């Protein structure tokens, strides 16, 4: 322990990051910027080539930050997992998607752990950051790593620290978001805390890996459930001819006991639509049914259908059907000002409109090409998007969109994000 602790303190510890996506690359760059020698590992050779050429492919990571660290020799990327043997720290940041059955898919974690296991050595610190169900570190990762005879917490150190990245957030970054850390024993927690403390402003140690794993699921399930609640309020308000956005704004004036959440076309992204299912799956393994959580998932999952119903209602006001109408989506990424398409509700909206015969097009400067099932489209420049369009749908409220121009040019607009707040026009229909 003393040796690794000293290496972390004087920045001589070699840090390996497995998985160079939206979590791994910002983390690798932060370690390198703080003076550590960092090697990024990924099975995608194109990502490795981009990093070694000093270019970033993640919006939240500046190319100049990648380039300066590469030039200084502090950052390097490779597809060669045998180089893990040279690392003092291995940080695993791979995806944890859901299977079609809504069960956890740990295949990427297992592959990363197998790579670490093949090159495990005494004194290494292994940290899992991938979002997963409580018990994964103790029940899956630790037994796999110990297969070669080394014991976690004694011969090597093992911890879990949930990633808390919020893509596109201009206020909070990897450095400023507090880091929760839980190890398999106190020594592992301490070392992981020392490591993150070298690059992150505040570290919060917890008593176990399971607590740390549960923290991330609670955070995102909290959001999913509250978004489900406000989506249901939006559906109810529509039936009652009440402006749900005005209701939320008024309720938000209460200085205590209320936190505003906002309705939308559905949930998207890498965490919020997925994490509650990890939690409910694990709960079922323990004989507990998460009825509240699963109901919220059902409500959120129904929102794309409601959006398409609204499009149908709006077109009906001018005696048109969805079938044959030209419908243009503004924004197809899962949230504003990012390029991430994972679980984007816009994909469901597009698919439902396509099934009903709509002629589709879209504008999204962050997503130049879209392929989803039978849908194969290229983004249309915003200035050219209005030609012959019957109805526009704002699915993602990117900051770069010219909303004033949009209101002036389109005959009908369905606004699922209240992006046109402040505009008062009869051809605008909100969620």
Which helix (H) or strand (E) segment holds residue 13: the answer is none
DSSP secondary structure letter of residue 156? B
Which helix (H) or strand (E) segment holds residue 274: the answer is none
- In this structure, the number of other CB atoms found within 10 A of the CB of residue 372 comes to 16
Q: Measured between alpha carbons, how far is 323 from 329 in angstroms, rounded to an integer?
A: 16
Marked catalytic residue, from 93, 271, 391, 395: 271
CA 265 to chain centre: 17
Q: Which positions ≥6 away from 123 have C-beta within 8 Å?
A: 3, 4, 88, 155, 156
Q: CA nearest 70: which of 25, 129, 127?
A: 25
Q: CA nearest 337: which of 397, 269, 414, 377?
A: 397
The residues that bridge with 182 in the sheet, in sequence order, are: 160
Active site residue 271: yes
Q: What is the 3-state secondary structure (H, E, C) of 207-259?
A: CCHHHHHHHHHHHHHHHHHHHHHHHHHHHHHHHCCCCHHHHHHHHCCCCCCCC
Q: Which positions ≥6 away from 111 have C-beta within 8 Å?
A: 94
Annotated active-site positions, please?
271
């Amino acid at each position: 322990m003393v040796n690794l602790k000293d290496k972390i303190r004087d920045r001589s510890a070699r840090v390996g990051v497995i998985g160079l996506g939206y979590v791994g690359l910002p983390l690798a760059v932060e370690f390198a910027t703080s003076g550590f020698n960092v090697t990024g590992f990924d099975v995608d050779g194109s990502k490795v080539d981009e990093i070694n050429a000093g270019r970033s492919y993640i919006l939240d990571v500046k190319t100049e930050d990648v380039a300066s660290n590469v030039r200084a020799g502090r950052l390097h990327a490779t597809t060669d997992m045998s180089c893990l043997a040279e690392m003092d720290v291995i940080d695993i940041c791979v995806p944890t998607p859901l299977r079609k059955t809504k069960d956890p898919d740990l295949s990427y974690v297992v592959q990363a752990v197998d790579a670490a296991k093949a090159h495990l050595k005494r004194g290494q610190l292994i940290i899992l950051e991938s979002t997963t169900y409580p018990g994964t570190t103790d029940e899956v990762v630790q037994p796999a790593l110990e297969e070669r005879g080394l014991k976690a917490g004694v011969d090597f150190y093992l911890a879990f620290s949930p990633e808390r990245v919020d893509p596109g957030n201009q206020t909070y970054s990897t450095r400023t978001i507090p880091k929760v850390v839980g190890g398999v024993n106190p020594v592992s927690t301490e070392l992981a805390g020392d490591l993150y403390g070298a690059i992150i402003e505040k570290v919060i140690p917890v008593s176990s890996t399971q607590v740390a794993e549960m923290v991330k699921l609670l955070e995102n399930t909290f959001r999913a459930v509250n978004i489900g609640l406000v989506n249901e309020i939006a559906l109810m308000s529509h039936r009652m001819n009440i402006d749900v956005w005005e209701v939320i704004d008024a309720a938000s004036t209460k200085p205590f006991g209320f936190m505003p959440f906002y309705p939308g076309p559905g949930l998207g992204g890498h965490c919020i639509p997925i994490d509650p299912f990890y939690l409910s799956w694990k709960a079922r393994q323990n004989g507990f049914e998460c009825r509240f959580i699963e109901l919220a998932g059902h409500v959120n999952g129904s929102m794309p259908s409601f959006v398409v119903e609204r499009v149908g209602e709006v077109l009906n006001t001018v005696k048109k059907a969805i079938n044959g109408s030209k419908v243009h989506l503004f924004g197809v990424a899962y949230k504003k000002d990012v390029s991430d398409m994972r679980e984007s509700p816009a994909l469901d909206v597009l698919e439902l409109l396509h099934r009903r015969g709509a002629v589709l097009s879209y504008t999204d400067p962050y997503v130049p090409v879209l392929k989803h099932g039978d849908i194969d489209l290229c983004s249309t420049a915003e200035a050219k998007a209005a030609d012959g369009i019957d109805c526009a749908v704002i699915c993602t409220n990117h900051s770069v969109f010219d909303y004033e121009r949009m209101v002036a040019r389109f005959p009908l607009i369905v606004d699922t994000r209240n992006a046109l707040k402040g505009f008062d026009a009869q051809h605008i229909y909100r969620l």
